[in-house]
Homo-oligomer: A and B are copies of this chain.
Amino acid sequence: MKDVQINKIAVVGTGVIGNGWIARALAQGFDVIATDPAEGAEDRMREAVDRAWPSLTKSGLAPTASRERLTFTSDIETAVEDADLIQENVPEREELKRKVLQTIDTFAKKDAIIASSTSGIKPTVLQQDCMYPERVIVAHPFNPVYILPLVEIVGGEKTNSSVLERAVAIYEKLNMKPLVIRHEIEGHVADRLMEALWREALHLVNDGIATTEEVDAAIIYGAGLRWAQMGPFLTFHLAGGDQGMRHMLGQFGPALKLPWTKLEAPELTEELKEKVIQGCEQQAGNTSIAELEEKRNEFLVRLLDLVEEYRTESESIS
């Protein structure tokens, strides 16, 4: 892994996502400088950091963490000029993001990494107006940014691969799980998955099949419990009995033709089957399905106790 020397992080745009980055970076012991042109932005930012701080304290602050290491300036040039990482979080409009990234690119140090939090725009699109596009990436976090570990790292056509490596090391220092996406697509990977579920949920409400509360209940009492510990592929690997995903695809493959969602499935070719089966077997590694099951069960029993304390659903679903 690259040696990454990083002292100062600049955060451009202090909405929900920007403020989440600020709180996370402070908690991990970095100097942070933030900028936002909106009136009252600094006050809202400091309030947001204060609201996040108790959770961050419970998670464990870095020894050098301090809210006093946060400064604010309404001047973007001042904010970015000596930062090692610049995280952009302006509203999700392509032309605006491109303009802001161009400004950042002009004033940032040559070896600074410039990362956009964009949910859906490709880095190749975002970096095209920059003089030094090789250090421009997407680093897409998830709300609440100061707690959830996932960050998708995506390079554009002009991004240097060594920059991606440095970025991974930096986000690991921010106590995150960087997931490098090798092929840029709109919505990256996580939002593709969430957006599919979200659009299906909107169809169900639109068609009068279920209320928002019923849709939420259909997730939190079932799949949502599993997905905190195990993703959809490994979950189905375990649903296939001792033969795992191979049995599963044999048995439920035909269901891909059924109208169980408004989304058309890909053709289940031999090639796709093998990709999926071998992917799951590799994920399981040397752990047997019985052992995976035992671990999952222990987890679920403890998770059910935990969610019981924190459920927000009303009791009216049945």
Contacts and interface: CB of A to CB of B under 8 A. Distances in A.
Interface residues of A, number: 132
A33 to B, nearest CB: 23
A313 B275 CA distance: 17
Given A181-B209, A196-B262, A228 B231 contact: no
Interface stretch (A82-90, A95-103, A109-117, A264-272): A264-272
A251 interface: yes
Given A228-B224, A300-B147, A310-B229, A318 B193 contact: no
A312 interface: yes
A178 B218 CA distance: 10
Contacts of A183: 207-209
A312 to B, nearest CB: 6
A139 B62 CA distance: 49
A301 to B, nearest CB: 5
Given A148-B221, A229-B312, A293-B51, A216 B283 contact: yes
Interface in A157-204: 168, 172, 177-183, 185-187, 189-204
Contact of A210 (B153, B181, B196, B200): B181
Can you tell how many copies of this chain the complex includes? 2
Interface stretch (A6-14, A72-80, A233-241): A233-241
A263 interface: yes
Counting chain B CB atoms within 10 Å of each CB, the highest count among A15, A208, A222 belongs to A222
Counting chain B CB atoms within 10 Å of each CB, the highest count among A55, A178, A263, A314 belongs to A263
Contact of A261 (B196, B218, B222): B196
B208 A260 contact: no
A318 B178 contact: yes
A229 B236 CA distance: 21
B192 A251 contact: no
Nearest to A281: B212
Interface stretch (A34-42, A63-71, A123-131, A284-292): A284-292
Given A224-B224, A297-B144, A302-B306, A232 B194 contact: yes
A262 B260 contact: no
A143 to B, nearest CB: 5
27 contacts: A16-B241, A55-B301, A92-B255, A148-B225, A149-B222, A150-B221, A168-B318, A172-B318, A177-B317, A179-B318, A186-B259, A187-B259, A189-B204, A193-B201, A195-B261, A199-B266, A202-B265, A202-B266, A203-B266, A205-B272, A206-B266, A213-B282, A216-B232, A216-B233, A220-B228, A234-B312, A299-B306
- Going nearest first, the 9 A-B pairs with the smallest beta carbon separation are A216-B231, A212-B279, A224-B227, A187-B260, A150-B222, A150-B221, A196-B200, A263-B263, A299-B310
